[in-house]
Structure 1
Amino acid sequence: MARVDKPALARYQVRSSGRKIVVFTALPLEYRAVRVRLENLQRVDHELGTIFERGQIPGTAWEVYLAQVGQGNQAAAVMTERAIGMIGPEAVFFTGIAGGLKHDIDLGDVVVATRVFAYHGGKQEETFKTRPETWQASHRLEQAARYVALEPQWAEDLPSSGHEVPEIHFKPIAAGEVVVNASESALQDLLDEHYNGVAAIETEGAGFAGAASMADQVPALVIRGISDRADGSKQRTDSGGFQRIAADSAAALTIAVIRALTSPGGVEAEPSVLQAITSTAPSVASTPGSEQLKEPLPVAWRRTLLPLWSSDGATLEVHLIPERSLRLPMRQMNQLKDDLVSVGRSEAVFTATEAVSSVLEADFATAFVRDPRRGGSVGLAISQAGQRSYWEPLPRPSQLHIPVLDAEHTQKRIADLLRLLLSLHDVPETRYAPALGVDPAELLTVMSLDAARTSHSASLARGGGGGPVYILPDEVWDAATIDAAAPTIAEELTLKLMQHFQTSGDRRLF
């Protein structure tokens, strides 16, 4: 049981010596599931009436401020803004239960939201045109969660129920204003058509994530236990105790993720990725299951899949090449052409309102959009031989008007994209070799995006020569290893890429 001190009320100005984390819940049973894992609890009141309890995670310097916001995105947004202003936390979490939307996710499993979709946005014409907002999970918090998920110890304090340790899934979720409990409805059709990739649905994550994003990008993460399947069976699963099971699982994982942060100060004390890749980056060859190839596998680079337009700026492309050719039948390729569009929309590769071009050629299928404002095209492709590909322009901050290669941003994107490519379609068991490219690579700068947003000049990285930069696919892993070790593989690929841009050009842009 949590230990509660004699009532000690603090008012608005929070003073403490520890590092601060805020955890929100919507329902009482979710609140209790977190509360029982804290000690030395004290009540802290906001001047407008919001009540927090401040407690400590045993054995750590982390102070957790716990609050119950009730249901709904608006309340979650207001409370998140208040907490950030009052407490100044290093990170914020929302934890609790949700309805599951995927049959391969069991009741009691936990979904860590890699992205939160606010699915109610749209425009009603003859048909409803979705205009969703979306927020990505904090990279540092997501990485801590993936680290925790490697071992079962995170669940050791869960009540014994005869079940195996709950699975942890890293997937997008959808947040709206409706509790979904029907297998067939207009809302279910909307979710299936436009948000097919989401794994769970709830009613607070969008408000929470949006408020955290606006508050100087405070690191935020949503963790949800699956208590029902949003298909009309909620009354049965609730009476079966799955709300409590799911809330306990989500709370246990949340506490374990906070413990996994370098304590204290783990959210802000990490060295930059650029420093890491130039010094102590782990070798990808140490990843279990890897094998060095005698020669690289052949790659269909983006310039062979689509023509390069004159407006294209520096573009990052990531590929997964199967060790053996699959020769997919044309009827499957025709279906994959449509699947690329739906997967692209659900994973926010394409927005719900963008006109996506889909093409089926003799040896590949692709879906893409041209966006000159971003400096080129964004697309997905699958070749008949089984190669999976993705490309997007490098970020181009408005201050510089030039593409920026940021090592930390690039590493995170590669890790996310490796997992995206693995999810494109089911294939017979085979191993894959990742390939990476920047094309064209003549006109860009290497610096952090944060610095680029305030800078008015930058050194050219490869001013005028050298052509594209390609990292060839010369090492293979099975799909499960790539999924589990994506951050490590992405770090090594980023290191190899950055070696081509170590010497900046001698011209400057103004």
Structure 2
Amino acid sequence: MRSSSGKIVVFTALPLEYRAVRARVLDLQRIDHEAGTIFERGRIGSDWEVYLAQVGQGNQGAAILTERAIRMIGPDAVFFTGIAGGMKHDMALGDVVVATRVFAYHGGKQEDTFKTRPEMWPASHRLEQAARFAVLDPHWAQALLPAGRDAPEVHFKPIAAGEVVVNAQASTLQELLDEHYNGVAAIETEGAGFVGAASMADQVPALVIRGISDRADGSKQHTDDGGFQLIAADNAAALTIAVIKALPSPGAVEAELPSSRSDTVDTPRITSALFGQQLKEPLSVAWRRKLLPLGSSDSATMEVHLLSEDSLRLPMRQMNQLKDNLVSLGRSEAFFTATEEVSSVLEADFAAAYVRDPRHSRSVGLVITRSGQRSCWESLPRSSSLHIPVLDPEHTQERVADLLRLLLRFHDVPRTRFAPAMAIDPAEILTVMSLDAARVSNSAVLARSGRGGPVQILPDEVWDAATIGAAVPTIAEELSLRLMHHFRSPHDLQQF
């Protein structure tokens, strides 16, 4: 694991964004990079040494200077803060968006129609969790914003980053965004270069925080004249500082890690992250097959569940609201695409939002039951050459982690613990291999000899929600390894 440096870098594009951050950092001193980039070094509280830099507008400059700063400074985390155009009518000017994902929306292929091929980077889980924790305090902005200004509303949603400043209600670009990126909350011109560079630089944690200064609909001149650029930059800078203050002190994470000595016993936090409380018997699961019967065309699908240990009974009024929330959550997290039609249902015991597209062998869905069970599922990826679902162990682990994070965003249930479960169903027709190998392979081994029936990992351990959130990669690895154990196949398997 990377050792802590106690350093953080905060980037901005525009002078007013830079000044908004600069005003909240103490003891600034100028530091010059040999290539000419000027940083200012200061401190936030007694824990963090903070470096500030302006990168100018555009993803290319953001990428170059991010990589340069990481090499020069070796920070524990990097932030990009500033203003953006809002893409959602339910957000007010001055609201702040913490980017859960950043889409580089200009990627694509031009044929008779433009086919999008976007790149996407998720937010650092550690930094996103710090942001969520920071705004739990209703007074988080009190000491960071001018007296009399209310704390802005903070949204945790995806954003899009390209090379064009969008300021038109009707344009070809606006149509592209509406059709393919309907879930994004804001649009800007540096985030993709920033997070892409951080991702390649040894996976340095990165987070984009943007204040909404205009609505990207042709009214920019009017809102700029109204002072909303300054307000939005100020609000985004304030939240960035609040997030940094919410991070564990430098070295705290390393202090929690167990020593390599075999006699180390005092590691309660690591133990809770790796070992949940074993239940006497697994909790009862409402599997996807029970909730929404499989269609004849459904192919191998992975489902992930979090079951509440408490005996909840959600009222139908809340279930009706959650039904609508499932659709908006799925779109905002790009679980449902912007163009597909999502079906939603409210039954006596559950609410669901799902897509079943036999033409593309696609089945995805979100469910919450009245007992508090949270569930989601998605079809396994297919190889274009093999034409059957592929169970890639590495990809599976990554997707289980993503789906667990999605389930944790459903709705708040105070002080409850959850037991994770997962399954592959149906599990007769699939192969186990890497997706890269499947793309070039002309044959595959049919897993489990084509035997019928689902493969299920039962919910027999419980964790509190905070521990699951902090240990998602570890829990996803455990679930995936237990799943893959069922696909350790004998030698006489059927060839496909």
State the TM-score, normalizing by the size of structure 2: 0.69
1:230 is displaced (CA, Å) by: 1.4
Given the alignment, which residue of 89, 93, 97 partners 2:79?
93
2:140 match: secondary structure: helix
Q: What amino acid is the match of 2:422?
A: V
**Change over 3 Å in CA distance of 1:122–1:344 after alignment to 2:** farther
In the aligned structure 1, how far is the partner of 2:421 from the partner of 2:296?
Answer: 14
Q: Tell me whether 144-153 or 359-368 shows the greater mean CA deviation.
A: 359-368
1:367 is displaced (CA, Å) by: 1.4
Question: 1:256 aligned to 2:246?
Answer: no
Q: What amino acid is the match of 2:151?
A: V
1:111 is displaced (CA, Å) by: 0.7
Mapping of residues 335-354 of structure 1, within 5 Å: 347-349=333-335
Matched-pair contact (CA < 8 Å) for 1:119–1:174 = yes
Structure 2 match to 1:301? 288
Structure 2 match to 1:469? 457
**Change over 3 Å in CA distance of 1:151–1:346 after alignment to 2:** closer
In the aligned structure 1, how far is the partner of 2:106 from the partner of 2:479?
Answer: 44
Q: What amino acid is the match of 2:421?
A: G
Question: 1:179 aligned to 2:169?
Answer: no
In the aligned structure 2, how far is the partner of 1:308 from the partner of 1:40?
Answer: 67
Structure 2 match to 1:279? 272
Matched-pair contact (CA < 8 Å) for 1:132–1:352 = no
**Change over 3 Å in CA distance of 1:370–1:19 after alignment to 2:** farther
Q: What amino acid is the match of 2:423?
A: D
Mapping of residues 428-467 of structure 1, within 5 Å: 437-440=421-424
Mapping of residues 317-396 of structure 1, within 5 Å: 317=305, 323=314, 347-349=333-335, 366-368=354-356, 379-380=364-365, 389-392=375-378
Structure 1 match to 2:8? 21
1:108 is displaced (CA, Å) by: 1.4
In the aligned structure 2, how far is the partner of 1:370 from the partner of 1:265?
Answer: 51
Q: Tell me whether 165-174 or 308-317 shows the greater mean CA deviation.
A: 308-317
**Change over 3 Å in CA distance of 1:50–1:37 after alignment to 2:** same
Structure 1 match to 2:42? 55
Matched-pair contact (CA < 8 Å) for 1:80–1:211 = yes
Structure 2 match to 1:417? 407
Structure 1 match to 2:199? 213
Q: What's the CA shift string for 1:305-354, capped at 9, x where partnerless?
A: 3359997386434689983568x99xxxxx99xx96x975663336789x
Matched-pair contact (CA < 8 Å) for 2:86–2:187 = yes
Question: Sequence identity, in percent?
Answer: 57
Q: What's the CA shift string for 1:394-416, capped at 9, x where partnerless?
A: 99xxxx9547886x985664232
Structure 2 match to 1:78? 64
Matched-pair contact (CA < 8 Å) for 1:367–1:381 = no
1:98 is displaced (CA, Å) by: 0.8
**Change over 3 Å in CA distance of 1:306–1:490 after alignment to 2:** farther
In the aligned structure 2, how far is the partner of 1:377 from the partner of 1:318?
Answer: 22
Mapping of residues 208-247 of structure 1, within 5 Å: 208-247=194-233
Matched-pair contact (CA < 8 Å) for 1:182–1:231 = yes
1:504 is displaced (CA, Å) by: 11
Given the alignment, which residue of 93, 97, 118 partners 1:132?
118
In the aligned structure 2, how far is the partner of 1:317 from the partner of 1:368?
Answer: 19
Q: What amino acid is the match of 1:33?
A: A
**Change over 3 Å in CA distance of 1:469–1:276 after alignment to 2:** farther
In the aligned structure 2, how far is the partner of 1:133 from the partner of 1:325?
Answer: 39
1:299 is displaced (CA, Å) by: 3.1
**Change over 3 Å in CA distance of 1:256–1:266 after alignment to 2:** farther
In the aligned structure 2, how far is the partner of 1:254 from the partner of 1:137?
Answer: 14
**Change over 3 Å in CA distance of 1:282–1:31 after alignment to 2:** farther
In the aligned structure 2, how far is the partner of 1:490 from the partner of 1:262?
Answer: 15
State the TM-score, normalizing by the size of structure 1: 0.67
Given the alignment, which residue of 157, 167, 178 partners 1:192?
178
1:379 is displaced (CA, Å) by: 1.0
Structure 2 runs not aligned, ≥5 long? 259-266, 278-282, 382-390, 429-450, 491-496
Mapping of residues 100-179 of structure 1, within 5 Å: 100-160=86-146, 162-179=148-165
What CA RMSD, in Å, does the superposition of the two structures yield over aligned residues? Answer: 5.1
